[in-house]
Structure 1
Amino acid sequence: MILKNPFSTRSDRWQPIIKAFTKALGAQNVIRRKDELLTYECDGLAAYRQRPALVVLPRTTEEVAQAVQICREYQLPWVARGAGTGLSGGALPVEEGVLIVTAKMKRILNVDLANQRVVVQPGVINNWVTQAVSGAGFYYAPDPSSQIICSIGGNIAENSGGVHCLKYGVTTNHVLGLKIVTPQGEIIDVGGCVPEMPGYDLTGLFVGSEGTLGIATEITLRILKTPEAICVLLADFESIEAAGGAVADIISAGIIPAGMEMMDNLSINAVEDVVATGCYPRDAGAILLVELDGLEVEVSGNKQRVAQLCRQNGARQITSASDGETRLKLWKGRKAAFAAAGHMSPNYFVQDGVIPRTKLVQVLGEIEALSRESGFAIANVFHAGDGNLHPLILYDQAVPGAFEQVEKVGEEILRLCVEAGGSLSGEHGIGADKNCSMPRMFNEVDLETMQYVRAVFNPDGLANPGKLFPTPRTCGEAANQRPQGEFKGASLF
């Protein structure tokens, strides 16, 4: 979906705006040339594009506040962007709007090992946090597949997860406090330096708000001690059904792995073509990766139990690794799955839905039926332990109408997830991609209540408009649900 370009920033209206940003941030931190703006016209959901009118790159909390204040003064819509790796169009620019990019805010401000916390700016890359503390025996648990390039600010906005979310939770479980610039340009602090603070959980409210409530400029993260022992098992099965049975039995046995991931045959062959791990049998119907961690005696016992449960469900071969180098090799293919999809097809569209573990086999069967009916191959890579699916729909954008058909397939997958008792998103967020599907999961009162919350923080509707919630201009279903202007927050639709 290519949106039209914004009006020219050469117009008389833009001259005082550009002058104000230049004075506040410096000319080198204000991007206005069309060729340079092309870099920022989409995030990881490259099918949706919109060139911003202007891009600004603040370096401090105060400069972020100044940028937001200028936008408010001139009533300019704005969108915050980190590394641009999001997959739901959450950082898609807004027509005639400003993109506030936090990429230059990449300092680790404080490392407090004694209290197991780190304070970072939003532009810090996810993997840098673990690198900063690993020498002292600590790590940062949330680990999206894009962790070597995605930023903490984006992780906060989307409440990102990763391989280890099964045992350790997603981003919100590891954020102690935030310094925030509100959409009104004010600087506030929420949360603190301890896990439980009295009063409303504003930190929990902000994490996952997708840039609609402000911009986090300093983030206090919780870090964990590196486990005494870690073991990864890779089991291959003749079918996804058999691997799904192993997942259910492992959880039923009371074992909570640090991570448990599954890949189907299409994904297996894609990653072997690209990264050639040599670990993933090309003839397998599915592989299951199970990571166990904890005390040595606990890991040793669980390793034997997991292997036994996998064999009972038909595992053909089980490989295990306890040393760091071999563990990384076993995980390499899973971490490269999205990139490998680009070698299978000119384009792919990744969805992100959640289902109960008990519905895993059923929903995957329905997705396979969708693939046959639509004619689009679908590769399945997912967090099997918590039912977070990432089906990759393969297509060729050069074929007229292909993307529109793929969008419909994606919407059908989300419908299957919600009807199975799941969710529209596990970690990628709603953004511009899934906002029209929100009425599938939330009723009119739910959506209205959330809009009231948004209106408190974002009364002018300038912060990331058109994202997260149904927008009548693009969502016919949502437009028919409620007359615009019914309540004060209606301008935020």
Structure 2
Amino acid sequence: MSLLTLPKPDETILRRRDEIIRQLKKLVPDAVLITDAEGRRTFETDALTACRCMPLAVVLPGSTEEVSAILRYCHDNKIKVVPRGAGTSLSGGALPLEDSIVLGISRMTRVLSIDEANRAARVEAGITNIAITNAAAVHGYFYAPDPSSQLACTLAGNIAMNSGGAHCLKYGVTANNLLSVRMVLMNGEIIDIGGDYLDAPGYDFLGLITGSEGQFGVVTEATVRLLKAPEGARPMLLGFDSSEAAGACVAAIIAAGIVPVAIEFMDKPAIQVCENFAGAGYPLDVEAMLIVEVEGSNDEIDALLGTIAEIAERFAPRVVRVSKSPEESVSIWKGRKAAFGAIGQLSDYFCMDGVIPLSKLPEALTEVGEICRRHRFRVVNIFHAGDGNLHPLILYNANDRAELERAEMCGAEILKLCVKLGGCLTGEHGVGIEKRELMRVQFTAADIAQQMRVKGVFDPDWLLNPAKVFPLEGRERQ
């Protein structure tokens, strides 16, 4: 039985569809309203394409005030709302319900201000991740979180899932780089949370909101921390005869007190696919590869890469290659950044997202391989090795329903393994619907009940992003 099930729609809401659309047109005449079947089909799924559902309608507001008006109307009429950024969620976090309105903020993309003195940028939350760095680069700064989907994903989605990226090892994830948000509650109230600097006084509501998956409100603006661009940065490639040796090398680098900007892991299938796609010069005769990047002055970079090479020698690397030019560095990262798209040309896949302690990395890689072999699936491993955030890609045929359900079971077993090893269900993709029924693996009934009470404070009628995060069984408000 599939884990990716959705609750039955409210037939009363479905019957009122024409009336709801008329009212929305009157309420926010300047917003983009999509009601035709072809237009709505664009929003029937997100990057977790294994589950689809056509929404009642899609509305794309252009301001915080329009978001407020839409939410107030939906609140008063008990209409469910699914917030959406760019739809790059890999956990089904932006998946609509048949009786829901999709509220997308992709039109809200302005850079409102850049404060060089305080190293902060205030932006609308529909801006793409990479656009923030591009705007800051003119002033010599950058925005640290860099998910693989950064060319498309929005800041709002990053906040919802507390996204990370390759460089989160040194600079942290979204929560570590977010200063404040403007958020609209389900009843239409506009609130401001946080301040102009990290650790604003008072309760840490910003920490509560970041990673809440659109369950509490719709973020329309945010102030993010900018960092001074480093003097220089350079990656190196390390190739090994086994995934276990590569995993042990990662643990040894961190244990030595070295914090690279990034440590990325790719196994042999991933290396081959990405090399064919990007032509990055990856070694094809190794079983696993690490991309390790450090930054600083040229002398600092040379010293750090030299030390990392010495550590790696303990694990008998087949390849040790240091980038010698900016062009080579770009090529190395091009292969990694293009990985998910490259593998998508090969097969449908489930991109898993679990976290394990670094000391358990070799054991985790071995067991993930065994789990996939037992379920008769090929697996490709690409992940942020420095912080233990695993991303096994389970290759399957999405057109075969039985195989799809078997892939879901395989993925669930991998996530249960992460929890068993002392980790957790998600590092940066969120829970969504993908891991919703697995929440009981990590949390007790009391834990989940407390989390649901917090959700109820912000959204008493459970109208915002319903059927996500919490197990469906026993939830009367769905």
Give the TM-score band, short-chain normalised. Answer: over 0.9
C-alpha contact (below 8 Å) 1:353/1:423 kept by paired residues:
yes
Residues 385-441 of structure 1: per-residue CA shift (max 9 Å, x gap): 111000000011233401000000000000100000001000000001101000111
Q: Which one-letter code corresponds to 1:450 in the other structure?
A: Q
Structure 1 match to 2:468: 467
Q: Which one-letter code corresponds to 1:466 in the other structure?
A: A
How far apart in 1 are the matches of 2:382 and 2:456?
A: 37
Q: Which one-letter code corresponds to 1:219 in the other structure?
A: A
Equivalent position SS for 1:40: coil
C-alpha contact (below 8 Å) 1:17/1:70 kept by paired residues:
no
By how many angstroms is 1:26 displaced? 2.0
Equivalent position SS for 2:160: helix
Q: Which one-letter code corresponds to 1:57 in the other structure?
A: L
C-alpha contact (below 8 Å) 2:7/2:467 kept by paired residues:
no
Structure 2 match to 1:475: none
- Classify 1:2/1:433 alpha carbon distance in 2 versus 1 (closer, same or farther; 3 Å): closer
- 1:371-390 equivalent positions in 2, closer than 5 A: 371-390=372-391
Q: Which one-letter code corresponds to 1:256 in the other structure?
A: V
By how many angstroms is 1:492 displaced? 4.3
C-alpha contact (below 8 Å) 2:179/2:194 kept by paired residues:
yes
How far apart in 2 are the matches of 1:245 and 1:72?
A: 52
Residues 184-229 of structure 1: per-residue CA shift (max 9 Å, x gap): 1100000011112111011111010000000111100001001122
Q: Does 1:343 align with 2:328?
A: no
Equivalent position SS for 2:391: strand
Structure 2 match to 1:121: 124
Q: Which one-letter code corresponds to 2:376 in the other structure?
A: G
- Classify 1:130/1:302 alpha carbon distance in 2 versus 1 (closer, same or farther; 3 Å): same
Equivalent position SS for 1:85: coil
C-alpha contact (below 8 Å) 1:83/1:154 kept by paired residues:
yes
How far apart in 1 are the matches of 2:387 and 2:14?
A: 51
Q: Which one-letter code corresponds to 2:287 in the other structure?
A: G
**Structure 2 residue corresponding to 1:321, chosen from 320, 323, 338:** 323
Structure 1 match to 2:288: 286
C-alpha contact (below 8 Å) 1:145/1:335 kept by paired residues:
yes
How far apart in 1 are the matches of 2:15 and 2:371?
A: 52
**Structure 2 residue corresponding to 1:272, chosen from 263, 271, 275:** 275
C-alpha contact (below 8 Å) 2:265/2:289 kept by paired residues:
yes
The TM-score normalised by the length of structure 2 is 0.96
**Structure 2 residue corresponding to 1:95, chosen from 98, 109, 130:** 98
Q: Which one-letter code corresponds to 2:112 in the other structure?
A: L
C-alpha contact (below 8 Å) 1:159/1:427 kept by paired residues:
yes
Residues 338-392 of structure 1: per-residue CA shift (max 9 Å, x gap): 11111222x1111100001111111111111112111110100011111100000
C-alpha contact (below 8 Å) 2:17/2:56 kept by paired residues:
no
Structure 2 match to 1:58: 61
Alignment gaps of 5+ in structure 2: none
- 1:43-442 equivalent positions in 2, closer than 5 A: 43-277=46-280, 279-321=281-323, 323-345=325-347, 347-442=348-443
Structure 2 match to 1:449: 450
C-alpha contact (below 8 Å) 1:37/1:51 kept by paired residues:
yes
How far apart in 2 are the matches of 1:105 and 1:257?
A: 34
Q: Which one-letter code corresponds to 1:326 in the other structure?
A: E
By how many angstroms is 1:238 displaced? 1.1
How far apart in 1 are the matches of 2:7 and 2:200?
A: 46
- Classify 1:287/1:436 alpha carbon distance in 2 versus 1 (closer, same or farther; 3 Å): same
Equivalent position SS for 1:344: coil
How far apart in 2 are the matches of 1:284 and 1:9?
A: 59
Alignment gaps of 5+ in structure 1: 473-478, 480-489
By how many angstroms is 1:10 displaced? 11
Residues 49-96 of structure 1: per-residue CA shift (max 9 Å, x gap): 111011000000000001101111211011000000010000000221
By how many angstroms is 1:310 displaced? 1.4
C-alpha contact (below 8 Å) 1:2/1:47 kept by paired residues:
no
By how many angstroms is 1:167 displaced? 0.9
Counting matched residue pairs gives 475
How far apart in 2 are the matches of 1:5 and 1:147?
A: 34
The TM-score normalised by the length of structure 1 is 0.93
By how many angstroms is 1:2 displaced? 8.3
By how many angstroms is 1:13 displaced? 2.1
How far apart in 1 are the matches of 2:132 and 2:30?
A: 31
Q: Give the stretch that moved more between structures: 16-25 or 319-328.
A: 319-328
What percent of counterpart residues are identical?
44
Larger RCO, structure (CA 8 Å, separation 6 or more)? 2
- Classify 1:58/1:412 alpha carbon distance in 2 versus 1 (closer, same or farther; 3 Å): same
By how many angstroms is 1:294 displaced? 2.8
